[in-house]
Amino acid sequence: MNVLELKNVTKKYGEHVAVDGVCLDIEKGKVLSLLGPSGCGKTTTLRIIAGFTSHDSGIVEISGKNVGHLRPYERNVGLLFQDYALFPHLTVAQNVAYGMRYRGTPSSVIPSRIKQMLSLVRMSGMEGRYPAQLSGGQQQRVALARALATDPQIVLLDEPLSALDAKLRVELRIELKEILRSVDATTIVVTHDQEEALSLGDEVVVMQAGKIVQRGTPTQIYAAPADKFVAEFVGRSNWFHGATRDRFTGGVSSYITSEGAEIRAKSAQSEQCGRADLCIRPESIELVEEAAGAIAPDPERNVLTGVVFDVAPLGADVHVVIELPGKTRLLVIRKNIDRIPAVVPGQSVRAVFAASDVLLFSDRR
């Protein structure tokens, strides 16, 4: 059974439709990431579920019950919101106890529950501290303990890690995932950080302008984006615009790009596409030096010749920018451990990628 179900939920601010007919369900114990650019309606959706914002139409159900008329404290929802900081005048223990007292948890149970929650978020021994005496990461752990203390039916996390620096963010992200899994929490996490969304969510929901444009596993969203917006928003990408020239057997079509290059794409949809946007992920491209000799022709492989423009060794990855004829630039990302050819700017190379790695988006303009 779904713990949460939104049925055609819409919210307008004046003429502006912030949430536009959203339908969303989530099963018990699953973590759903809500991802999208600033202003696409993620926070408004969470606030509607929590009961802080009323929706204009549609139905919000928690465990099969319409909760549209219930106040926030009457819904058993755990919250960790950007603007829902710890109470500065309360200790760690009092902050964690706050929601429980509000919801009528028996006083006899509260101390052991505080202990359990603080141990879960690795904050045992900090009960008597005030928020100002904690680091940003510690404050977020306490806020998480407070959100989970009432054993909520749904946990809503709005940009839970955004205030932290990059390294701590990644560390806490891994912990957060483990904690949510250990308590079997049904969770929606809002983020505009794609890496966070893909790593935390069992499934990812991508929103644009108040609407859901795709829902899928992190792998589906990355490897099979529903449209150009999702492909551009999730992951890095190289883009070409082209028109079909030839069609071959096995779903392979060749496109001539605006810059005059030929790119072959293999896709179930390629038969329908006259003009199309072609997307190639930087990780799908291999670099082959000129010195490596001729590359055997293969109708399902692309070979583009260019000149290395920039090489950026970024720790585990190397980012290489290739300039193709017509000044188009192609980003190639290789793992350091691949021992890619030690290319240098100005060197001629070939960028090689499979026709099946080209994502095609039909251009209906």
Which 8-state DSSP code applies to residue 325? G
Distance between the two ends of the chain, CA-based, in angstroms? Answer: 42
Q: Taking each helix axis from N to C terminus, what angle separates 92-102 and 110-120, rounded to the nearest 10 degrees? A: 120
Q: Does 216 bind ligand ATP (CB under 6 A)?
A: no
**Nearest to ligand ATP of 36, 225 (CB atom):** 36
Stretch that binds ligand ATP, among 42-50, 134-142, 219-227, 347-355 (CB under 6 A): 42-50
Q: Residue ranges of the alpha helices (H) in the chain?
A: 42-50, 92-102, 110-120, 136-148, 166-182, 194-200, 218-223, 228-233
**Nearest to ligand ATP of 188, 355 (CB atom):** 188
# binding residues, ligand ATP (CB under 6 A): 12
Among 8, 13, 65, 336, contact with ligand ATP (rule: CB under 6 A): 13
Q: Does 40 bind ligand ATP (CB under 6 A)?
A: yes
Query: Closest approach of Cβ 38 to ligand ATP, in Å?
Result: 3
Contacts of 248 (CB under 8 A, 6+ apart): 254, 264, 299
How open is the CA angle 79-140-234, to the nearest 5 degrees? 75
The interface mask with ligand ATP, positions 133-172, x = CB under 6 A, is: ----------------------------------------
**Nearest to ligand ATP of 18, 230 (CB atom):** 18
Among 36, 51, 218, 341, contact with ligand ATP (rule: CB under 6 A): 36
Residue 111, token pair as written in the block: 């101390």
Positive or negative: CA dihedral 262, 263, 266, 272: negative
Distances (CA, A) of 282 to 29, 111, 226, 333, 359: 34, 52, 19, 5, 12
Burial string for 241-250 (b: 16+ CB within 10 Å, else e) reads: ebebeeeeee
Query: Closest approach of Cβ 274 to ligand ATP, in Å?
Result: 35
Contact 250, 289 (CB under 8 A): no
Query: Closest approach of Cβ 36 to ligand ATP, in Å?
Result: 6
Query: Closest approach of Cβ 39 to ligand ATP, in Å?
Result: 4
Q: Does 33 bind ligand ATP (CB under 6 A)?
A: no
Among 26, 31, 33, 44, contact with ligand ATP (rule: CB under 6 A): 44
Query: Closest approach of Cβ 43 to ligand ATP, in Å?
Result: 3
Where does this chain bind ligand ATP (CB under 6 A)? 13, 16, 18, 36, 38-44, 192
